[in-house]
Structure 1
Amino acid sequence: MDEACGRVGEVMDREGGRLQLRPVRGGREWDADPARVRTATPAERLHATLAAVNAASRWETT
């Protein structure tokens, strides 16, 4: 959980003292301050996963 922006992501890499996170189920990576990143709660992970699935289903029906 990137507390600076309120987004849940998967850590993909560490570069130059920053973490690179990717949204759940893919998407564009962003840089995060490691001091502001923590493990997401199960509820936060579920919320992020469901949001990604719902967004994907909207794209598939258009």
Structure 2
Amino acid sequence: MAVRHVPLDGQEPPPVPAPVPTPGTLMVDTARKNCVGEFRGVAGPYWALRPVSGGQEWEAEPQHVRLADDIERLHAQNAQNARCNARSRGEVL
């Protein structure tokens, strides 16, 4: 027998929580100008993301986060490669 949610008094059903991605998955935070970050974990009701090229983690609301598409992943990897190259030249610590 299938179970159905029947809204009471015209109320909308509660939102279904997004599945938690695996750590390391590249995600886009649409609330932060489409910043691309690596999923690090769950921090209370928020998801922790970290810039691919390094930097400080930030917390994002899961409803504002989506998987990065191919172009966004490529741009993020290029930024990471540029940082590694600059570090190898001694330009970045």
TM-score range, shorter chain: 0.7 to 0.9
Flag as ranges the 4+ runs of structure 1 deviating above 3 A: none
Contact kept? 2:53, 2:83, Cα under 8 Å: no
TM-score, length-scaled by structure 2? 0.58
Aligned residues: 62
From 24, 40, 45, give the equivalent of 1:12.
Answer: 40
Single out whichever of 9-18 and 33-42 deviates more from structure 2. 9-18
CA distance in 2 between partners of 1:4 and 1:47 (Å) = 19
Higher normalized contact order (CA 8 Å, seq sep 6+, divided by chain length): 1
Aligned to 2:78: 50
Between Structure 1 and Structure 2, which shows a larger proportion of helix residues? 1
RMSD: 1.6
Q: Tell me, which stretches of 5 or more residues in structure 1 are unaligned?
A: none
Structure 2, gaps ≥5 residues long: 1-27
